[in-house]
Amino acid sequence: FTEESLVVGLSRVGSDDQRILACTLSELSKTDLGLPLHCLVIPGTLHPLETEYLVQFASNPTELSEIMKQ
């Protein structure tokens, strides 16, 4: 687990202003997700369908795709 590991940050899930962001841990540490409640997901090995879904929430889809190939 490193600063370049894939993580998913979520905030206020289910509310009108929810946020979902898939990125590296380093990038997430510099991101303001706003008011609580927050959730951090550290995924393991992803199925190709899960990978395709997460790219929709990427701040940088190209970089995220490369990270998920590793």
Give the C-alpha separation, 63 to 35, whole Å. 27
Position 47 in a domain = yes
The answer, yes or no, to whether residue 66 has pLDDT greater than 90, is no
Position 15 in a domain = yes
Domain holding 56, by residue range, is 6-69
What total number of domains does the chain contain? Answer: 1
Q: What is the pLDDT of residues 44-61, one digit of tens each?
A: 988 989 988 999 999 888
pLDDT of 65 reads 81
Give the C-alpha separation, 6 to 15, whole Å. 24
* CA triple 52-55-58, angle to 5 deg: 170
Assign residue 39 the CATH number of its domain.
Answer: 3.30.950.10
Position 13 in a domain = yes
